[in-house]
A and B are shown apart, each in its own frame.
Chain A
Amino acid sequence: MKALPWLASWFQVAPVALLLMLFFGLPMLVVLAVSFFDYGQGRLYPTFILDNYFEIFASSVTVRLYLNSLKFALIVWAVTLLIGFNIAYFLVFHVRTLLWQIGLFLLCTVPFWTSNIIRMISWIPFLGRNGIFNQTFMGLGVVSQPMEFLLFSDFAVVVAYVHLFTLFMVVPIFNSMARIDRSLIEAAYDAGAGPWRIFTEIILPLSKTGIALGSIFVITLVMGDFFVVKVMSGGQSASVASALSTEISQIQYPPAAANAIILVAVVTLMVSGILRLVDLRKELTV
């Protein structure tokens, strides 16, 4: 056994590897296979046809759905980046004691550990026609009529996404920033760099990894979401994933699978684009 120390590692990692392969790797292969199946009357016919893909590419709905999803992804990415970056920056560079840092960080993180669905629907009393915003603004005389666009609209979808996913930006960026060696900043200050230069030359480049990671999280979450967009838009807006979930509920597995594969391909492209900027494994492992 001494000659093969990594054999022990194999034993230790085997359960996780096995589970991931069984419940992630294989299922993804199943989805791939099913995307080539034929179907009808609630039954699956294992075969190899490309019809599912043709139908998707030929449909104009597909393009619309993708544009819509990408629109959301982009907007949410930009907003969460802006907010997340500032929050992380505040926590790392303006909060002085470790205790406060941890405390405030936890304050932001705790909602993450509660139900997504609850947090999502908690916006309804806020944004509705009789909701808090409208009541407040009407009470203050800012508007004379309730603002309809607040709820069951794209606006509501974006608000919900930002509410749910900003944390995924904050944490990686916080991590990257916290690792920045303070003496670098002091050395730059010593050499005469002003706050803006320090920001652009030191802080921003060294936060790159965190920004990349956060972006990957947010984009995949938005592109893969099917319930936020359904509920918050009142069914008016659709994303690729929500169309997918409709097909699933109608037991149209092959087209759903094909859609899934294409969506995965698109998202993978986006992610690898981001990954060109950062070596994940080096950043995350021991």
Chain B
Amino acid sequence: MVRALRAAEPGAAARLYDRHVDGVYGFIFRLLGPDAELDDLVQEVFAYALSFIGKLREPAALQSWLMGIAVGRVRSYIRSRRRRRWLAFLPTNELPEPVVVRDDSHAEVVREVCAILDRLPADERIALVVHRVEGMSLSESATACGTSISTFKRRLARGESKFFAHAERRPALASWLAGRSRHDAE
């Protein structure tokens, strides 16, 4: 596929998209949560990949390369979103949610998790999601984040510590940390 993409063969771009779009979309959703820009970010990832396919050194690493691109785009997006919020003089928790989430237990967990993640620095947030949620190894995670393993570990540790500390103070999540069952929480 990489060879076909580099040769700009007809249909190669569509095949890349069809094969990897679900993974990229889910990955970005888990990094950001519900967000009106999800579709655009997915587009940006594939547009970048198609433009710079020549930079991919190892064709077998296509998927992790795409994830690395996604990490970069999401990181930029989070930072620009924060700048916009700061410039608008609006505290984060007063911003309207861009996407309406259904009001059930899953939705509540998602909403609470995202609220905590929004308080974390972008790098720590990404480290936490990439390793703990996506299940990437430390090495893969560090590569996707474009950093060394030791730096990644530090970010992950800081992110975890902050996340769980915040989670303790949020009833919807604290119950899970207190040892309650899912049934109890509902």
Do A and B originate from a single complex? no
Where the two chains meet, the residues of A that have a C-beta atom closer than 8 Å to any C-beta of B are none
Residue numbers of B with Cβ under 8 A of A are none
